[in-house]
Amino acid sequence: MPESNSGNVQIAILAKLIVFGMVTAVAIHAFHASYVVLGLSFIVASLLQALIPPRGKGLLPILAISTLFTLIALLLQWWHPH
């Protein structure tokens, strides 16, 4: 399916950012997330935002950064437990 005009792409990007932000906000406020849980919520948010067309746009960099943050958080929590 061809991509739509630039106005619809901008709305899709905004929707992707809202979905990404809402998942992490729920993790922070509702579950009082640790860094590892926050990193996992980034990964879930990355995968959820990929459901909004255009699906492939930006998924790989966001998923890579989210995974890297989760791994760093896991190492920091392992080295410095509360």
pLDDT, one tens digit per residue, over 69-80 is 888 888 887 787
For 8-43, how does the pLDDT look when each residue is reduced to its tens digit (9 = 90+)? 878 888 888 888 888 888 888 887 777 778 888 888
pTM, rounded to two decimals: 0.69
- Burial class of residue 57 in the structure, from the number of CB atoms within 10 Å of its CB (0-12 exposed, 13-18 middle, 19+ buried): middle
Q: Which of 75, 76, 68, 74 is nearest to 36 (CA)?
A: 74
User: Which two tokens mark 49?
Assistant: 């935002």
